[in-house]
Structure 1
Amino acid sequence: MHIGVAYADTLKQVWLKLDVPDACTVREAIERSGLLAQFPMIDLEAQKVGIHGKIVRLDARVADGDRVEIYRPIVAEIDTGDDEDDD
């Protein structure tokens, strides 16, 4: 079956299309994609994953046409209000 696996870091966005066997899990799809080697900072035990924007478990089965996504943690910058340029 045909699926896609997507990941984006701060500098690069990748969406790979690949063929996987029936009954393939999200974890297996990510491993087959090669993204873990390309982005060694990915930690599947800590990061959320999803299919078409819906968070799923790593052992969820993928279906033909699915887009598996690996989500990065959101990092918020706090505005301290100390900008001198605001005058």
Structure 2
Amino acid sequence: MAEHIRVEVVYALQHRAEVVQLQLDEGATARQAVEASGLLQKYPDIELDGRNKLGIFAKLAKPDTVLRDRDRIEIYRPLIADPKAVRKKRADEGKVMKKGGGPAEE
């Protein structure tokens, strides 16, 4: 008889998180956990081979990573804007940031 592991799959949305707890056979991968969670059917915008990355406890993981008991598989949404690009654009436009949020000219 195969041993089982307990894991949870998490997909964070803008205002809430979907958390699905699963029991899988030992040796299951992160991809298998996401597929078994039903989140791919509920949220068709999730693309494991494209725009969405996976992590286990906030560390990036490949879909073929073998899971351990009590792992938390996280499905990451893509960034809307690159933070570095936003800061560079702000600097190029000559905007000055000031403590307190008041006008920069004072």
1:25 to 2:36 alignment: no
How far apart are the structure 1 equivalents of 2:17 and 2:64? 24
Structure 1 segments of 4 or more deviating over 3 A?
A: 77-81
Aligned length: 83
How far apart are the structure 2 equivalents of 1:49 and 1:40? 16
Question: TM-score scaled by structure 2?
Answer: 0.70
Structure 1 unmatched runs, 5+: none
1:70 to 2:75 alignment: yes
CA RMSD of aligned residues (A): 1.8
Question: TM-score scaled by structure 1?
Answer: 0.84
* SS state at 2:25 partner: coil
Q: Give percent identity, aligned residues only.
A: 35
1:57 to 2:58 alignment: no
In 2 relative to 1, CA 69–45 (structure 1 residues): closer, same or farther, beyond 3 Å? Answer: same
Structure 1 residues 22-81: Cα deviation after superposition (integer angstroms, max 9, x where no partner) = 000000000000000111100001111010000010000010000000000011395787
**Number of the residue aligned with 1:9:** 13
Structure 2 unmatched runs, 5+: 96-101
